[in-house]
Amino acid sequence: MKRVIFPALSLALIVSLAPPELQGQSVPIFNTVKTKLENGEQVVGGTVSSPDQDLYCAVANSGFDFTWIEMQHSPLTYAEVARMIWACPDAEAIPFIRIPAPTEGDIQKATDIGALGIIVPMVDSMDEVRDAVTYAHYPPMGKRSQGGGQYGALWGRDYRRAANENIMIVAMIEQPSGVEIIEEVAGLDGVDVVFVASSDLGSFTGRRQGHPEYERLVTRVKDATLGAGKVVGGPMAWMTDREGYGFFQGPGTGALIRTGARISLEGADPCRFLPSGATPVAGEDPCP
In sequence order, which residues have a C-beta less than 8 Å from that of residue 98 and are 6 or more positions away?
68, 69, 70, 71, 72, 119, 121, 172
pLDDT of residue 277: 86
Spatial CA neighbour of 32 closest among 93, 76, 100: 93
Q: CA 61, CA 38: separation in Å to the nearest integer? A: 22
Is residue 75 in a domain?
yes
Using the predicted structure, report yes or no on whether residue 3 has a pLDDT greater than 90. Answer: no
pLDDT of residue 107: 98
Query: Out of 8-17, 28-37, 186-195, 274-283, which region has the weakest mean confidence (pLDDT)?
Result: 8-17
CB 217 within 8 A of CB 205: yes
Q: CA 225, CA 213: separation in Å to the nearest integer? A: 19
* Reported confidence tier of residue 26, pLDDT bands at 50, 70, 90: confident
Is residue 274 in a domain?
no
Using the predicted structure, report yes or no on whether residue 21 has a pLDDT greater than 70. Answer: no
**For residue range 92-143, what is the model confidence (pLDDT) as tens digits?**
999 999 999 999 999 999 999 999 999 999 999 999 999 999 999 999 999 9
Instruction: Give me the helices (H) in 113-211, please.
Output: 126-136, 151-155, 159-166, 176-179, 182-187, 198-205
pLDDT of residue 57: 98
Is residue 281 in a domain?
no
pLDDT of residue 284: 87
Is residue 24 in a domain?
yes
Task: Provide the residue range defining the domain that includes 137.
Answer: 8-268
Using the predicted structure, report yes or no on whether residue 6 has a pLDDT greater than 80. Answer: no
What's the number of domains the chain is made of? 1
Report the CATH number that the domain containing residue 209 is assigned in CATH. 3.20.20.60
Q: CA 90, CA 57: separation in Å to the nearest integer? A: 10
Q: CA 133, CA 167: separation in Å to the nearest integer? A: 9
Residues 33-52: b if buried by 16+ CB within 10 A, e if exposed: bbbbbbeeeebbbbbbbbbe
**pLDDT above 70 coverage of the chain, percent:** 91
Using the predicted structure, report yes or no on whether residue 280 has a pLDDT greater than 80. Answer: yes
**Residue type at 128?**
E
Across 138-161, average pLDDT: 94
Is residue 229 in a domain?
yes
The tally of CA atoms less than 13 A away on the side-chain side of residue 154 is 26
Across 23-39, average pLDDT: 89
- DSSP for residue 27: P
pLDDT, averaged across the chain: 91
Is residue 172 in a domain?
yes
Is residue 280 in a domain?
no
Instruction: Say what the pTM is.
Output: 0.87
Using the predicted structure, report yes or no on whether residue 8 has a pLDDT greater than 50. Answer: no
**For residue range 79-95, what is the model confidence (pLDDT) as tens digits?**
999 999 999 999 999 99
* Reported confidence tier of residue 23, pLDDT bands at 50, 70, 90: low
Is residue 3 in a domain?
no
Across 17-38, average pLDDT: 77
